[in-house]
Structures are given as C-alpha cells and as structure tokens.
Structure 1
Amino acid sequence: MNLKPLEDKLVIKKVEVEETTKSGIVLPSSAKEESNIAEVVALGRGILEDEKKKDEVKVSDQIIFSKYAGTEVEIDKEKYTIIKFADILAVVER
C-alpha cells in the first residue's frame, strides 16, 4: 500500500537513533524520548510544484521535525507520520 500525501504534507518514517552513554551502555529506545529525526517517504503535490519548496527536501532525505507535529498512522505493520512542510526544522546533510 502506498501513501500519497496531499498538498503541503509529507509522509515520514522515524529513524531509530541508538544512544550510548559515556561508559558504553547502550540505551534501548524504551528508555529515552522518541526521536524527532525521520526519513522522508513521500511528498505532496503542493511541495513538488512549489518552486521554493521542491528543492529544499526530497524523498529519502533525513529531516528534523517539530516534536509534537503530525499524525501517526500504521500501515502494513509499519509506522509513519504525516506532517506539514512547515513542521520541518532542518534537513540533515551528510
């Protein structure tokens, strides 16, 4: 099943960030806050057709988004979040 976001929305999938303490202990995801780093899975037509927005983010980019943004959905046992373009705080460049 494919998700097709409308207008200025994006579908993102949160990235699991493994955290290790200074002493080398790996913290499980249940022991820390949920990450606000995600990979872009799909873009809405409003973003793709906007001259300013279309070059700022693309599918497979990693982004940082607002902590309480979006709506979480589960499709085919995968969790996704749908957010507005305005909720993107930064694109992670590597």
Structure 2
Amino acid sequence: MALKPLHDRVIIRRLPEEEKTSGGIIIPDAAKEKPMGGEVVAAGPECKTIEAGQTVLFAKYAGTEFNAEGEDVLIMREDDIIAVVEK
C-alpha cells in the first residue's frame, strides 16, 4: 500500500464479514454489522505498541473509512485500538 500513516495513526483492513451464523442461517447484506476487528496494514512512527501484521479490536465507531487503491480501509489513532488479538 502506498499510504504511510503519520504520528500515532494506523491503517487497518477489516476482518471478513460473517456470511452465516453458527446455526447455519445465512445473514443478508442489509442485516450485517461491520466487524470491529482487523489487521494492521501500516503503523505510524510514533506508535508504541502496535505494529503492521497484528490483528486488533477497536471501538464500533472508531476511525475514518476510505478507499485506498480499490480497498476499503480504516485509519485511526493508536488510542482507538482496545486490544491486540494474540494467536
């Protein structure tokens, strides 16, 4: 990606949306909620705990959505990230 976040900002690619419930019910597009987790694509130079490649959770309305090179991504401050998912 040709974008480089500044200061303490991170660029996040959302996790894929769930297509069906654990019971097998298919969720229509109109009823889907956007996932509150994603993969960090890039981190600014002032980020202390977040690095590219990590999977993170963030608040429901955190960040600003935009389309970069045909891909929908979020940009937000490091403070908006509430947890790192450890594998």
Q: TM-score range by the shorter chain?
A: 0.7 to 0.9
**Which of 55, 64, 72 in structure 2 is aligned with 1:79?**
72
CA–CA distance in 1 between the matches of 2:60 and 2:18? 18
Aligned twin of 2:44: 44
Could you report, residue by residue, the CA deviation over 1:5-43 in whole angstroms, capped at 9, with x for unpaired residues?
000000001111325334312324542211110100001
Aligned twin of 2:3: 3
Identical aligned residues as a percent:
43
Could you report, residue by residue, the CA deviation over 1:44-81 in whole angstroms, capped at 9, with x for unpaired residues?
0111xxxxx2xx32111110011111111102210111
**What's the TM-score, normalizing by structure 2?**
0.87
CA–CA distance in 2 between the matches of 1:21 and 1:13? 22
How many residues matched? 87
**What's the TM-score, normalizing by structure 1?**
0.81
Q: Provide closer, same or farther for how the CA distance between residues 72 and 22 of structure 1 changes in structure 2, counting only shifts above 3 A.
A: closer
The gaps in structure 2 that reach 5 residues or longer are: none
Contact between 1:18 and 1:29, CA under 8 Å: does it hold in 2? no
CA–CA distance in 2 between the matches of 1:67 and 1:75? 21
AA of the residue aligned to 1:17: E
CA–CA distance in 1 between the matches of 2:41 and 2:52? 5
AA of the residue aligned to 2:21: T
Aligned twin of 1:65: 58
CA–CA distance in 1 between the matches of 2:70 and 2:2? 13
Q: CA RMSD in A?
A: 1.7
The gaps in structure 1 that reach 5 residues or longer are: 48-52
